[in-house]
Amino acid sequence: MSTSPLSFELIGTDGTARRGRVTTPHGSFETPAFMPVGTRATVKGLMPRDLEETGSQICLANTYHLHVAPGDKVIKKLGKLHTVMGWNKPILTDSGGFQVFSLPKQQLDEEGVTFSFEKDGKRVKLTPERAMIIQNNLGADIIMAFDVCVPFPCDYAPAREAVYRTERWLKRCKAAHDEAQGDQPTQALFGIVQGSTYPDLRALSAQLTRDIDLPGYAIGGVSVGEGHGLMMDVIESTEPYLPKDKPRYLMGVGYPEDLIEAVARGIDMFDCVLPSRYGRSGVLFTRRGRIRITKGKYRADRFPVDPQCSCYGCQNFSRGYINHLINSSEILGSTLGTLHNITFYQDLMRAARSAIEQGTFESFRRAFLDEYLSEDRKDELNLHFTDTRQDHDELSWDTEHSVIPSAKPVKHVDMPEPKPQAPQTTEKPKKDAPRAKSGGAHANKGNAPRARQGGKSQSGKPQGGRPQGSKGGRGKPRGKGPSKKK
């Protein structure tokens, strides 16, 4: 009888929301947790020390892409993922199923999926056993079973067949994984629930998957175009059938509102390319909504992206400078955008964990969504909170950053230069003292007067309040929106 390399501690609950801790051979991470996606063993634009500074405690790598290049066997020879990436914290790898089923001309049968590599057109076959071998070579702490991911929309019959085939493939994955790992496993295998948007199929798949004893379970086949409402319906159809003492992972999700609403429904883990992909294109998340930093109105804006953010970019640079960097295609712009967005997501998860611990998650959820979402988005999601006006200043959002607790938000304001005062003496005053040279947006940080959020400075301009242009800034990247995993 082998021992599990992963343990889950349920620290507390608030309603259905859960506060927990997952422990792996490479350390623990707190839940609810967001996992940044390092598709090719790197989060684009960030060094591992940058990723750690965001407060990230676990990241994700993609099995399919690493199998294509440099190859899972090469990764194994180089010391496996933790050594290659210079990341001594937990790592999760997906099975590659989502990417494979997204490829053209793929052929599905009971044995596996036959497809052509995008790079050279070579025809290969990926089976449950092969998916386990590749992930064993990569060496992540958590690995995912090879499942059948159906598109949206999907007819009932093929969705039902995918549920049963996913179960059969999970049994094959577990057998191959157990044989490779032996009595002292170092990797934890998670099963995946499928069933499209059909509540009965989701319940069936959850029960079939739960009957196979595993360290954790995931909800797959979402964020494929079904929209927020159907996604939440899927979670509500699945969650009651998942074990309470095992972590639950919602794959490929998503927007901040998706995360908070999923946490409210009992989900523990999330991943998505969204914050990094958006960050590189200049779409940045703030507590009051998304902004497109490349717009002309931010060209001379001296505020940080988000006055409440403790990331390196918000502590040191203005929106105007980041506007310049990204519009000039400077690498630093992409780095700062990615760093900020992932920090935003980690701050959101930290605030959610704190609210669950304090028993105030529902109040936090309502206040965050009320402040973050535009009125149009609230209408779209049917989320309105007119019965109780939340005090946004009391949000458990300004909790100290877990990595840089001493950081304080920078207030970028246009302060008038002080007028020289005559020296207090009976002698005839000399010439006026020379005007102090301006040090730019970051001069005299420690001496700038502080005002309550939403208040005004002596110049009458906003200080530390609603960043200009944030509310309702629902801009999306040019062209089609980013496709999301799973």
Catalytic residues: 94, 271
> Quick one: tokens of 424?
């207090």
Residue 400 DSSP label: P
Question: Distances in Å between the alpha carbon of 129 and those of 106, 240, 376?
Answer: 18, 30, 47
| SS3 letters across 349-361 | HHHHHHHHHHCCH
Which residues have a Cβ under 8 Å from the Cβ of 447 and sit 6 or more positions away? Answer: none
Question: Are 83 and 128 a contacting pair, CB within 8 Å?
Answer: no
* Listed residue (268, 269, 270, 290) closest to 281, CA to CA: 290
Using DSSP, state whether 309 is helix, strand or coil.
Answer: coil
Strand ranges for 146-225 from DSSP E: 188-193, 216-219
Question: Are 415 and 464 a contacting pair, CB within 8 Å?
Answer: no
Give the integer Cα–Cα distance in Å for 116 and 101: 11
Question: Are 96 and 133 a contacting pair, CB within 8 Å?
Answer: no
Give the integer Cα–Cα distance in Å for 155 and 284: 37
> Quick one: tokens of 233?
């319906």
Which is it for strands 113-116 and 33-38: parallel, antiparallel or unpaired?
unpaired
Tell how far CA 228 is from the center of its chain.
16
Give the integer Cα–Cα distance in Å for 186 and 136: 9
Tell how far CA 390 is from the center of its chain.
25
> Quick one: tokens of 77?
């020879």
* Listed residue (477, 468, 197) closest to 318, CA to CA: 468
Phi/psi at 61 (nearest 5 deg)? -130, 160
> Quick one: tokens of 456?
């005004």
Question: Distances in Å between the alpha carbon of 241 and those of 1, 161, 204, 245, 261?
Answer: 26, 20, 9, 12, 19
First to last CA, the chain: 33
